[in-house]
Structure 1
Amino acid sequence: MGPPKKEQEEEEEQSIILISDDESETTLGNSVLLVDPLSKPALEEEKSEEVVDEECELMVTFCKQANVMPHARHDCTIHPFERTECDRCSPLGKNADICDQCYCYICDKLASECQNWTTPSLCHCNAHNKSKFWKDQRDFALAGVLVMFGFELTDIDAELRRGGDLLLKFIQELSVEYNKYLIGERMPSIQEECFCLPKLPPGQCNVCRSRNTEVVYRYSGVFALVTRFLNQAETESPKAAAVMLLGAAKEIALHKDPALSWQNLGHTASLKVAVPCLLQRITTQLQRMLVLCDFPKSLYEKFISFFQSISLPCHCFGFSNSLNVVPWDHGLLTTVLKGQNITGHRTQKGRKVFLWEALPVIEARVEKLEDNMNYKEVVRYLRAVKCNDTIGLRDLRDKIPFYLCKSGDFLDATHSLLFPVGSLACCTACRLTPCQFEVYLKMFRTGSVPVGKNMLDSGPWLTVGSPLKNGVLIKQALRLLYSNISLYRNPKCWSSLIMILGSSSLLERSGHLHPLTLKEPPLDFQKGVLAVGGGLLEDLKARINVSLPSAIFTPHLHHEACLILAVQAVQQMLFCDLPYLNSFLEITLAFGNNFWALRLLLEHLSYEEHILQGTVNLILRDLNRQKATMFKLWQNLGPQYVGEFLCLFLTCRHRKMQSIGLFALNIITENLHVCPWAKHLCNFFHNVGLRHLPLGTAAHNEVSKFINIFEEL
């Protein structure tokens, strides 16, 4: 025992602390015993002396009145409490008595503020924590409508509570609208003959009229209300939206059609058509959210469990497994994304299990992988996953080559374009558009890709890998054209091929190519390429794997060799499919400053009269229709280009080809006011001696007339 304390002055109350040497002899099982100082007179008499409990060998050294802390009513030490399982008719015993710190177990607020403390049939004063009934009541009071989701109170945050509040309001409004639907609308049917006695004229017999009156049940009002609620859910946070969507699904699944026979009223007015339509929208949105939103695992599982607990009517059985969405950490999905499983199936307990997902789920996974720039993972996933919607899955798989380009694997991208994935009947090349064809060629040529998600978006480009070699590029480009007849017959595709083959592999960040001016190779080299080119093109059409002869496609002249091979492919296309072409001018313009390659093309066209005539007619028609466009182009390219372009046609040995140059020259002559560069063009004609070349009479006359115009100024 320590020495006695000095007497201390207390203002209003004293505290007593009893310290024991032997814990086992105390009633509380510890060395400190708190004594309630209610008997003040006894203490005051011994105020100056130590207080000793001889029985327990305790000494009182300090005394203070205890503060009563907030507590549930059933834990109150002042007023006794009687416990029963679920008695709520009236207060039991003294359960209604409270102290200042008694709280309502149900409302979680001061008992004095509880409006249902002694209300008959509610009686919150009888609630306690040892009863399942009262625990459920407390959970519902605190969680509201969210209690049906099985959330723990610690799970409920502001987002979930917001969703619950909106859902409760919706349920109340829906109840009113659904009751209106159940009442129906009485519609008089077609007046029929009266069979009563005496027989009355049609429409005058009250008995027959009441018998023939039909009740029509229109679900349109309910459909509109639910649609508005779903629209609102899409604007809320993910957790709130999930609660709203799931709650709406449960409510409409309970709706029943009171009509005794089928009533064909339209997709919104007929319940058996409208409810599946609404459930389709709800489940699709929930599927996307389960994939895109990072819900905690417990919340994720409770959402799925809640949907599975909904009792679906027979006309909605197809939605039973809609939310069986595997999480991102699912074993099979994980192995597919990592490249450890390329088939998308595995054997489990003696049977094959496939990675089979609904199309909205697949779309959402692709979207998330795209956002995270996991292009290799999205390729593996799309190649392995299976889906009932084969067309939708095919459209997603058509972007596999683009994802491979984004990851820098351009060679694999070309193979993915040409070979079908999985069980698809045809390859992606069959569905390419001319614009997509051009973008793919640009990516293969430069090793760069558009920054955005869509390959056709106009935005900056980024270098991600090494471009394809010229020989590989032209082989794969021609295979693409031979695989798609609509591309093969489209002049834009051929002009894209020629333009890209005649451009540098360096690309501006804006996506613009740098054209190359290639020197004309020796004639022997040109003849050598043409000699082997015919067989190569036939093998490519037959999808035979070919290799370009190294003796012809040398490292020094590979650009020129590829351009000659493209010229030969254009010639073959014209000989077979000229009637299907709607333009040819853009093909001629695609050669840029490589006029030697364009001359090679035009010379070979003159071997077939009908091919020559058809080509000339197409070019003349294009020039006549696109005068304004040609003026802008010529303004940008300058008089040197215009002069060489005109000289190329004017100096052709075939008179029909010369007519193209004459037509273009006449267009310029008639529009000198918008051709400020025309005088420089006249100087070009002087420098090349065009007036003295052995042209035809018509060509000499037009050239002389054009030159004389500027000489007289």
Structure 2
Amino acid sequence: MSRLTPSPVPSPDCSGAMEPAEGEEREQSIILISDDEAESSVGNSVLFVQPQEEPALGEVKAEVVDEESELMVTYCKEANVMPHARYDCSKHPFERTENDTCSPLGENAAICDQCYCYICDKLASECQQWTTPSLCHCNAHNKSRFWKEQRGFTLTGVLATFDLELSDIDADLRHGGSLLLNFMQELSVEYNKYLAGQRVFPPRHECVCSPRLPPGECSACRSRSVQVVYKYSEVFALVTRFLNQAEQESPKAAAVMLLGAAKEIAAHKDPSLSWHNVDHTASLKIAVPCLFRRITTQLQRMLVLCDFPKTLYEKFINFFHSICLPCHCFGFSNSLKVLSWNHGLLTTVLKGQNISGHRRQKGKKMFLWETLPVIEARVEKLVEKKNYREVIRYLRAVKCDNTKGLRDLQDKIPFFLCKIGNFPEAAQAQLVPVKSITCCSACRISPCQYKLYLKMFRTGSVPSGDDMLQPGPWVSTGPPLGDGGLTKHALRLIYSNTSLYRNPACWSSLIMAVGSSNTLNNSGELQPLTLNQPPMDFQQQVLAASQSLLEDLKANVNVSLPRALFSTELQQEACLILAVQALLQMLFCDLSSLTSFLEIPVAFGKNLWALRLLLDHLSYEENLLRGTVRLILNDLSREKAAILKLWEDVSPHYVGEFLWLFLTCRHKKMQSVGLFTLNIIAENRHMCPWAKHLCTFFHNSGLSHLSLGTAVHQEVSKFINIFEQP
């Protein structure tokens, strides 16, 4: 069937003939465009109908009928010549042969203004090989396999080695091919210099000829001792610069550049006889594997992260497998055997249908085994798409020869569980060893991570980003852990990690989390609570039960807190007392390992009854008391400005209660902390406009009840006099 391309249709007259509109000239030709160009045809896709003579005025225009195609032409219009290949030109005939390149055939060299070269894909008038002997692009046409291959090679250039079709090639691939071609030319020059080597002449050499000449003057002896040194360093530097450039390009261009570079350096030969004790960039046998490692690692990541079309994906892999690797690069033979995202085993793992990561196929056991760069790329891709459940399943099932690298990724599983709101399982996952790994992730948690995990467990919120250390807003993802669960898990974590156990910042994080609300304040931080002091008998009961509870928690036993104490209205107070008792045990055993202490008392906030409980128990042991006071005084001397800034942001009433707690302690060593703090405030009163309110607090707190003549009474009175002076 053919298509008719008419001009605007005029209205018919009464006789049924078609007449042009008034003032419109009658057109003189028609174009019939064939839809199904047969292979046996001469190749023209345009059928020309000769213009008809214009009928006499008043006569009805004769109809043109093509009986074979059952097409009737009632109106003709002269066509505009559009850009076309030379073999489709309507003005000049064209002769076809399979592969004649000697000289132009017939009138094939003749062109019109719109003729294009089939090979170069540009105007024939601009083709440099239009009539060049042995090339003769004027004879090219689309029915010849030879000319089709010539067109493909011309348009694809070096991309032809990748077995790419013209339909596969876009601007990115073409750009990558252009950069690769320039690199290959530069590399050829540098590689030839390497093969020529560097001739090294000895500075002086004893002459063994007759007659003997002075050392270094005999040319014969010098020529025999000349050494040729082959240094690959310049080639290595050139390839490295090219790889750096590739990493800045689009994925398709980068893949072409990396694969092309791999093929080029794989063909390099080492003419030197020895490569030991040589710099890694100077020796080819060391430098080339180093470059291959970088290339394959980047390609592995790209095959996972970049959504290459399936055909392009396969052609990239096939190209790499076609590279003839030298013996020093055999280890990279299977580097690009990367599972596609729709691989059966991988898919079942990601969907939760296979939690073990292995299956039997034809009687053999198959494992989900991937290299670390591939695993890192998959995790990155899944996290980017917020598929945290799939990340967790994948990391639990996948195997890798890089145990440490895989372990570091698996340590993120608790955070990913928090991202989906599963805080109980996240707490458990930190203490359960991953298969094939001897220790749990709790052993490797940093103090900063410990603080953030407690914040997540306390509030049920997580950082909005994909990195828990990244600053930003927090969002709620699920119900938080209860008071008992939070305290138990926090203590089990701190007992499982020596660096946490001996870090005062971790103990202050624990105390702050236990004494806080399960909601964040406006600044996104934990919101401290003021807990009422429980009755003394309740405190004693909790302290009595704490000894066995803490021993079980140290042994990582699944402990159940007594319901009579930890399931009442005072459960949060009971948890705070349990934390105080755990802190006391640590101080009795490992006080010497601490480098600071002041942040721990500050962490109690307004729960000063719990802080008094800690200080009273410290007073029973003289050595423990002395060591603690020494640490606090050192902290005060070192952090004067910080502590004054901290108290500026809180109420003077709290500062007064905090100082009064130390000043009224029954042991004089602990009283010295309060006295030293008063001196700091007095010496820096220009930074403490709130200090005058302390005087009122001291009067109201019972200054008159202090024993006269004691150091505390004298220093407090002196402090009041300083700030009450006009």
TM-score by length of 1: 0.88
Task: Confirm whether residue 570 of structure 1 aligns to residue 578 of structure 2.
Answer: no
**Matching residue within 422, 429, 450 for 2:435:** 422
- Secondary structure of the equivalent of 2:234? helix
Residue 640 and residue 120 in structure 1: after superposition, are their counterparts in 2 closer, same or farther (change >3 A)?
Answer: same
Query: Equivalent of 1:358, from 357, 361, 371?
Result: 371
Report if aligned partners of 1:460, 1:509 keep a CA contact under 8 Å in 2: no
Cα displacement (A) at 1:354: 1.5
Change (3 A) 1:642 1:71: closer
In structure 2, what residue type is equivalent to 1:507?
Answer: L
Match of 2:95 among 67, 81, 95: 81
Give the Å deviation of 1:117.
3.0
Q: How has the CA–CA distance of structure 1 residues 12 and 200 changed in structure 2, closer, same or farther, with 3 Å as cutoff?
A: farther
Where does structure 2 lack aligned partners over 5 or more consecutive residues?
1-14, 32-40
State the shift of 1:90 in Å: 4.6
User: Given the superposition, is the C-alpha separation of residues 37 and 445 from structure 1 closer, same or farther in structure 2, using an over 3 Å criterion?
Assistant: closer
User: Measured at CA, do residues 182 and 16 of structure 1 come closer, stay the same or move farther in structure 2, by a change above 3 Å?
Assistant: closer
Give me the whole-angstrom Cα distance separating, in 2, the residues matched to 1:97 and 1:639: 100
Please state whether the residue corresponding to 1:327 is helix, strand or coil: coil
1:592 to 596, 602, 605: 605
- Aligned twin of 2:202: 189
Match of 2:413? 400
Residue 317 of structure 2: which of 293, 304, 319 is its match?
304
CA 1:467 to 1:190, structure 2 compared with 1: closer, same or farther past 3 Å?
A: same
Alignment match of 1:288 (pick from 271, 282, 301): 301
Q: Who is 1:548 aligned against?
A: 561
2:17–2:61 Cα contact (<8 Å) kept:
no
Q: Secondary structure at the match of 1:637?
A: coil
One of 208, 223, 240 as aligned partner of 1:210:
223
**In the alignment, structure 1 residue 487 sits paired with structure 2 residue 500:** yes
Deviation at 1:708, TM superposition (A): 3.9
Query: What is the deviation of 1:333?
Result: 1.3
The 2-side partners of 1:552 and 1:592 are apart by 23
Q: Cα deviations across residues 111-170 of structure 1 (Å, max 9, x unaligned)?
A: 554322332332334545455443221111111221111111111111111112222222
Q: Distance in 2 between matches of 1:653 and 1:254?
A: 84
Q: Secondary structure at the match of 1:465?
A: coil
Q: 1:705 to 1:15 in 2, by over 3 A?
A: closer
Task: Determine the C-alpha separation between the residues in 1 that align with 2:293 and 2:300.
Answer: 11
CA-to-partner distance for each residue in 1:9-29, whole Å, 9 max, x for gaps? xx9998799xxxxxxxxx99x
Measured against aligned partners, the alpha-carbon deviations of 1:597-620 in whole angstroms (never above 9, x if no partner) come to 111111112222211221122122
> Is 1:277–2:277 an aligned residue pair?
no
Task: Compute the displacement of 1:526 (Å).
Answer: 0.5
CA distance, structure 2, for counterparts of residue 385 and residue 61 of structure 1: 73
CA distance in 1, matches of 2:251, 2:474: 34
Please give the residue correspondences for 1:308-707 in structure 2 after superposition, counting only pairs within 5 Å. 308-508=321-521, 510-694=523-707, 697-707=710-720
Closer, same or farther in 2 for the Cα pair 1:528/1:221, shift >3 Å? same
Contact 2:423–2:481 (Cα < 8 Å) also in 1: yes
Structure 1 residues 631 and 145: alpha-carbon distance in aligned structure 2, compared to 1, 3 A threshold: same
| Inter-CA distance 691–262: structure 2 relative to 1 (3 Å threshold) | same
Change (3 A) 1:438 1:59: closer
Residue 555 of structure 1 deviates from its aligned partner by 3.2
Cα distance in 2 for residues equivalent to 1:190 and 1:665:
79
Equivalent residue for 1:246?
A: 259
Q: 1:691 to 1:627 in 2, by over 3 A?
A: farther
CA distance in 2, matches of 1:646, 1:248: 71
Q: CA deviation at 1:587?
A: 0.8
Instruction: Classify the secondary structure of the residue corresponding to 1:108.
Output: coil
Q: In structure 2, how many angstroms separate the alpha carbons of the residues matched to 1:176 and 1:229? A: 15
- What whole-Å deviation, never above 9, does each CA across 1:40-81 have from its counterpart, x for those lacking one? 9xx99xx9999999x99x999999999998765667796563
Give me the whole-angstrom Cα distance separating, in 1, the residues matched to 2:211 and 2:648. 97
SS in 1 for 2:565: coil
CA, structure 1 residues 60+543, in 2 after alignment: closer, same or farther (shift >3 Å)? closer
Q: Comparing 68-77 with 557-566, which one deviates more in the overlay?
A: 68-77
Q: Distance in 1 between matches of 2:62 and 2:476?
A: 90
**2: distance between equivalents of 1:364 and 1:7?**
71
Does the Cα contact within 8 Å between 2:587 and 2:624 map onto a contact in 1?
Answer: yes
Match of 1:164 in 2: 177
Provide the residue aligned with 2:152 in structure 1: 139
Conserved 8 A contact 1:517-1:593: yes
Return 257-266 or 89-98, whichever deviates more: 89-98
What letter corresponds to residue 229 of structure 1 in structure 2?
Answer: F
Deviation at 1:5, TM superposition (A): 9.2
SS in 1 for 2:517: strand
Instruction: Give how far 1:324 is off.
Output: 1.6
CA separation of 1:13/1:455 partners in 2, compared to 1, >3 Å: closer, same or farther? closer
Q: Is the 8 A contact 2:303 2:338 kept in 1?
A: yes
- Stretch deviating more after TM superposition (409-418 or 626-635): 626-635
State the alpha-carbon separation in 1 of the partners of residues 516 and 72 from structure 2.
102
Task: Say which is worse superposed, 616-625 or 65-74, in terms of deviation.
Answer: 65-74
CA distance in 1, matches of 2:665, 2:123: 104
Local SS of the residue matching 1:418:
coil
What RMSD over aligned residues (CA atoms) do the two structures have, in Å?
3.5
Q: Secondary structure at the match of 1:151?
A: coil
Q: Which amino acid aligns with 1:655?
A: K
Distance 2:48 2:178 in 1: 47
How far has the Cα of 1:474 moved from its partner? 0.5
Number of residue pairs matched by the alignment = 691
Question: Residue deviations 1:78-104, cap 9 Å, x none?
Answer: 6563634x5544556776566777654
Deviation at 1:674, TM superposition (A): 2.9
For the Cα contact (< 8 Å) 1:405–1:449, is it kept in 2? yes
**Structure 1 residue ranges without an equivalent (≥5):** 18-26
Whether contact under 8 Å (1:268, 1:274) holds in the other structure is yes
Between the aligned partners of 2:112 and 2:443, the Cα distance in structure 1 is 83
Identity %: 70
* Cα contact 1:650–1:695 (8 A) shared by 2: no
Equivalent in the alignment of 1:21:
none
What whole-Å deviation, never above 9, does each CA across 1:249-284 have from its counterpart, x for those lacking one? 222222222223337542223222222222222222
TM-score, reference length from structure 2: 0.87
* CA 1:7–1:607: 2 relative to 1, 3 Å: closer
In the alignment, residue 640 of structure 1 is paired with which amino acid?
H
Cα distance between partner residues in 2 of 1:144 and 1:514: 66
Are the aligned partners of 2:275 and 2:285 in contact in 1 as well (CA < 8 Å)?
no
| Structure 1 residues 687 and 310, CA gap change in structure 2 (3 angstroms) | same
- Could you tell me whether the CA contact under 8 Å between 1:101 and 1:110 is conserved in 2? yes
Following TM superposition, by how much is the alpha carbon of 1:660 offset from its aligned partner in structure 2, in angstroms? 1.8
**How many angstroms apart in 1 are the aligned matches of 2:18 and 2:165?**
54
Mean CA deviation greater in 386-395 or 255-264: 255-264
Any idea what SS the aligned residue of 1:241 has?
helix
User: Matches of 1:491 and 1:16 in 2, distance apart?
Assistant: 93
The separation in 2 between residues aligned to 1:328 and 1:184, in whole angstroms, is: 47
Give the C-alpha shift of residue 458 in structure 1.
2.2
